[in-house]
Structure 1
Amino acid sequence: MHAETQSTERLVSHTYPPVVHSLTSLRFLAAAWVILFHFKEFFRGTGLETAPIAMSGFLGVDFFFVLSGFVLAHVYLPKLRAGRFDYWDFLVRRVGRVYPLHVLTLAATLALSAVAARAGVTYSIWDLGQWMTLPKGEISRGLFAHVTMIHAWGSTNGLIFNLPSWSISAEWFAYLLLPVFVLAMRPLLGRPLTLLAASVALLIAMDVARRVGTGTDLLRSTWNLGTLRILPSFVLGIALWRFGEGITLGRRLALTGFFAALVALVAAVQFGAPLVVIVLLLAAIVFLCADAERHGGLKALQHPFPVLLGEVSYSVYLWHFPLGVLTFDALLAQRGEVGALGGLGLIAVVLAGITFVSWVSYLLVEVPSRKTLIAAGKRLALAESFR
């Protein structure tokens, strides 16, 4: 009886919590990293724009891709195994999560660019109104691609409108193919270590193939088939969840590994390690963070405030480009020479302002529209079942 109790306790200790709050908190840090990558461009000549940590901030998007695979596997893989996976409900929830804010920020970017053009705003880096100079056919095609979220599928000739939203298109691609990914991985789902090794090999192989075939990095793809960029990272996230489902390092080793991975990440960025290595370290952080939380570790990342920041990080990510460009090129156009530290300070202040707007957007747009779309999806499914 005692041995049975110990076995049950070990099983419980290996189970991930329903929601891994510390991973939610890390989403905000990843969004802030991407924002640093973009906003550093407003401080050229200060040294900030060449700082390795700022230059590599675009890889925060790949953290999101790995995290998406991990979280969706956590929520839906057990349902897929049990034959309880409802693809319609899954897609409705994904659309409810990403689509309303995507459309709102797209419309806001178009409106803000038109207002800025009338006000005679001069842009230093990105011209929000550049789309207005394109041929009408290209504008129409771009709008169609953005509204249908296929603008990272090679459907446009470049980044237009709310430029960072290409990653939402890539996420949408991964959502649509989730059952396909799981089906393709099924032969290895019973061998989690082999599955993890195969997913790492896939990331490396796709990066090498992209370099050989096009001379460009897979991990720099955006509008030009960003769908390929998300594929190995998303699969890696799924493999990490499956690997961690049956294996744990325990509280002490998970915490030690988490902080060691953070140090290794900083070192890899600082010394210019290959991009694939940095992404693998980001993936390790996802796994170790989740592993530590199921043993009660990383309490600081589970407090309500950082979790709230993580919840609004999607809004922060989509609002930061139009609001940031207008802030730096209109409100702060006369900022003068501020240096690298001054630039970091201004970026932090602007990020705080965008975060506040994003919090309001989260409360007034994201949450209500998500609930509305999910309810509508359920009504449609119910009506269909009676036909």
Structure 2
Amino acid sequence: MDYNIKRFYWLDILRGVAALSVVFWHWQHFFFNGTFNDMMGKIIDKSHYPLYHIFRPFYGQGWRAVELFFTLSGFIFFWLYSSKISNKEVGFEKYLTLRISRLYPLHVLTLFVVIIAQYCLYHTKGYNFVYNDFSAGAFLANITLTFDWFSSAITFNGPSWSLSVEMFLYLVFFLFCIIKFNRWWYALPMIFIGYLLRGTFLDSMGTGIMSFFAGGCIFYLFNWQMNTWSKKWRIYFAIFSMPLIIIGSIIFRYIAKIELPAYFFELAIFPSIILTISLLEASLGYGIGKHLAFIGDISYSTYLWHFPLQIIFVLAVNFIGKTRAVFYSPVTLLLFFVVLITISILSYHYFEKPMQNYLRQKWNNRRLSFRN
């Protein structure tokens, strides 16, 4: 790795856009007639959602952004950690501390906010919002970030299921690197293993493994291009490869009427987007990306706060005597996003980062005292 890149600002922006896409997808929560399990398999008419003509792709396909999260994680982790873990510059304890300090504090905070908000809703209206499994077992699985390892049931702060998959992927990745399998020819079979798990009781894990290691393979392609191709050819490739894939998929889907496979986004579209963006940023510089990267900084807060905020909005609507029809209004949509982004910014600067720094400093102090 002969090039020097400290941060991919535009990939951070992409992660932020992905988080907002999930929020649009979950706008349907406001119109659920019952719980998540009651609505499984039912067709929901979204044509009356606020500004539907503009945000239709996000209302309809926003769930795919979670697959994009996994693919981005794969690219970034192979870039940041694969060599360091393989060379034993980063040990398991440090690695786990870095990851837990990133995920855990906000996960626990939003988990308890959901519990309080659901309690208020149930004791004022007699129902829970979207999810209704608040058993001790579900709570324990949430606290330990293992709730999607053994069950596909979604509980408490529902969107946080992906954190459980992320934690599993972190462990698999560390093992993958420590036994020096961090090469593209080992990453490719992992994609196939993930594919085989799709459709089984480990479907979420399969999706995570397939997407994560697809991101890893894309990093190896990026790394090879950075070290062997001239700047001019990297730019040409980045500019023309992504449009060709999009045009090709349109021809297949809408002209030839050939249904694209379910994993097309994980293995073609998302990796291509990541490769295109990373090549352009590495070759041309980040431009205004540095000034917009806050969208990525707050993406984790955006992702974890949006469901608790939905419950709070429902409580507020009930309190003022309005019906759920208010959520068809563009004004409500705008208000929700303004509040969500404000909370996310405050959460990032005054909770996420301080807690990360505190936990990492505690680990450093413990390590130093152990050495002494």
Question: Please, what TM-score do these two structures have when normalized by structure 1?
Answer: 0.77
Residues 210 and 266 in structure 2, CA contact (< 8 A), matched pair in contact too = no
Map of 1:67 onto structure 2: 72
Of 145, 160, 166, 2:161 maps to 166
Distance 1:153 1:32 in 2: 26
Residues 121 and 329 in structure 1, CA contact (< 8 A), matched pair in contact too = no
Residue deviations 1:199-254, cap 9 Å, x none?
A: 5xx5356435534xx4xxxxxx7xx6633321122122222212211214522432
Map of 2:59 onto structure 1: 54
Residues 327 and 333 in structure 2, CA contact (< 8 A), matched pair in contact too = no
1:98: Cα distance to partner? 0.5
Of 320, 342, 351, 1:365 maps to 351
SS at match of 1:286: helix
Residue deviations 1:24-71, cap 9 Å, x none?
A: 111111111111111135365342679564332211111111111111
Distance 1:148 1:335 in 2: 34
Residue 56 of structure 1 aligns with an amino acid whose one-letter code is Q
Distance 2:114 2:305 in 1: 9
Map of 2:83 onto structure 1: 78
Map of 1:153 onto structure 2: 149
Of 239, 243, 247, 2:225 maps to 247
* CA gap 1:262/1:122 in 2 versus in 1, 3 angstroms: farther
Residue 352 of structure 1 aligns with an amino acid whose one-letter code is V
Map of 1:334 onto structure 2: 323
Alignment of 1:76-115 (within 5 A): 76-115=81-120
Residue deviations 1:156-188, cap 9 Å, x none?
A: 5721110111111111111122222225672x7
Distance 2:248 2:281 in 1: 20
**Correspondence 1:291 to 2:279:** yes
Map of 1:347 onto structure 2: 333
Indicate the RMSD between aligned Cα atoms, in angstroms: 3.2
Map of 2:198 onto structure 1: 210
Distance 1:70 1:331 in 2: 42
Map of 1:140 onto structure 2: 136
1:348: Cα distance to partner? 4.5
Q: How many residues align?
A: 342
SS at match of 1:150: coil
Residue deviations 1:59-90, cap 9 Å, x none?
A: 11111111111111111123134331222111
Question: Which piece of structure 1 moves more, 157-166 or 50-59?
Answer: 50-59
1:278: Cα distance to partner? 1.1
Residues 261 and 285 in structure 1, CA contact (< 8 A), matched pair in contact too = no
**Correspondence 1:28 to 2:16:** yes
Distance 1:82 1:204 in 2: 26
Return 5+ residue gaps in structure 1 as ranges: 1-10, 133-138, 215-220
Residues 24 and 310 in structure 1, CA contact (< 8 A), matched pair in contact too = yes
**Correspondence 1:307 to 2:309:** no
Residues 67 and 234 in structure 1, CA contact (< 8 A), matched pair in contact too = yes
Residues 30 and 63 in structure 1, CA contact (< 8 A), matched pair in contact too = yes
Map of 2:216 onto structure 1: 238
* CA gap 1:162/1:250 in 2 versus in 1, 3 angstroms: same
Map of 2:229 onto structure 1: none
Residues 258 and 289 in structure 1, CA contact (< 8 A), matched pair in contact too = no
Residue 47 of structure 1 aligns with an amino acid whose one-letter code is S
Distance 1:264 1:327 in 2: 42
1:269: Cα distance to partner? 9.2
Map of 1:8 onto structure 2: none
Return 5+ residue gaps in structure 2 as ranges: 32-43, 227-232
Distance 1:157 1:233 in 2: 18
Residues 214 and 266 in structure 2, CA contact (< 8 A), matched pair in contact too = no
Map of 2:5 onto structure 1: 17
* CA gap 1:290/1:143 in 2 versus in 1, 3 angstroms: same
1:355: Cα distance to partner? 1.3
**Correspondence 1:276 to 2:271:** no
